Structure 1
């Protein structure tokens, strides 16, 4: 049997069965970019590879997936990290004009080229660690033009860096300065989501449901708009308090509920019943 490439003298993590599915001293073969053979050393006698690669005892695993990132943005909030280490809370920083809004200012001011230039090293670093599929959220534009810019840069970087990018529209990440939450929610639902869906810029819609962001009623409004335009649903929920956002999102068949430090038993049960994935983000919490 002809194959394009055969790797020998490798250890594999197949994820088959229990645990990692470790297979030591193994061979792996691929044709047309697809794996066609996995087995112990010596199981490849019937294979005729165009290229043979000695793995020299290295490990091969499936590509890693990062299902929650805000990779495309401009600026830095290193000073806020220092504040957090000194005990200042996330909410206090946000109320003082920092947090999400700080990054919004820098991202709005950046050209697409600058945004790509600043974001590219982050994606390449993740690829070097074995990440082959990555979700990238918008949410640092908070206008249709700037949200569109983030999503377009995310897709372009995925193609350039040969990483599978799954873009998510997070227009409801924060209430823009000078706007009212309900007024802005209406714009997200009536203007932004239809445009993003029509242009094929995102695969899902996310919202930050929290006492410093959007209410459960506003989250429901966003979910209704996402569903009407054929987009999947995600939520930032129960990060700072229990707003029952995860339970609400599960009722819409959400792909995931993320953060969830304050999730209660009812939210857990609703997510389990719906198959909504629980995404933990300890780096953000600490």
Structure 2
């Protein structure tokens, strides 16, 4: 039995952790355990899947490492940060990248094919069985508000008379919204994935807003994938990834800017969620062949 360790996120919920745990629970060769710290994981694991992040090469780790890069660097000087991580991060025995673009942004172009795999984001399989609830809200927005420039759009929805639930608010987000009273606004802090999706399914529409800038515009939007899986009608701004995703699954999302200019569009627009089935976590992990990567890393360790 290969023992694989995962680390809980300090600041955010990592859906990959639950996805890996559930997926490998159904296999006989790999056992996954989620730990609170790298030190705890290192004591009990053969292999650790480490979410980069920064894990400098001078830090000690007895377990073999699969370094997972699920996002390029953000905020100021992101490409410089990518370069520093590339040369200062501990070398992995294997690698997982969100997509080819993320791999390229970290300068891993010469990596042998048997040393890495690509694995995008997905949604929990149980959402396929979720029964739609009686509608309590018009719109849901899940995710960060501050710094994303989404607040004016949320306020515009409220001014249009729609009820809006926002899930994932920070204290500063709440203070910002409290400056003006909105009786149709419901605010929730960061919630577990199950609790967040239970609220989201009580909505009719989903607001997706991702800044059309580096690196967000070429990275998967987990929340959008989950919105579609829940059968919500998506209103979104336009950028490279969302346009490609909409075309790939044969969906139809309402353009956010067009809707803001003419709110009546929401009544006549033909929403379509398309076919999202390939994005269940089980299908995503199957396609990525992470299981084979783990076995290769483990066997190389055993034979060395």
User: Quick check: which has more Rg, 1 or 2?
Assistant: 1
Higher RCO (CA-CA < 8 Å; seq separation 6+)? 2
Q: Report the TM-score, using the length of structure 2 for normalisation.
A: 0.28
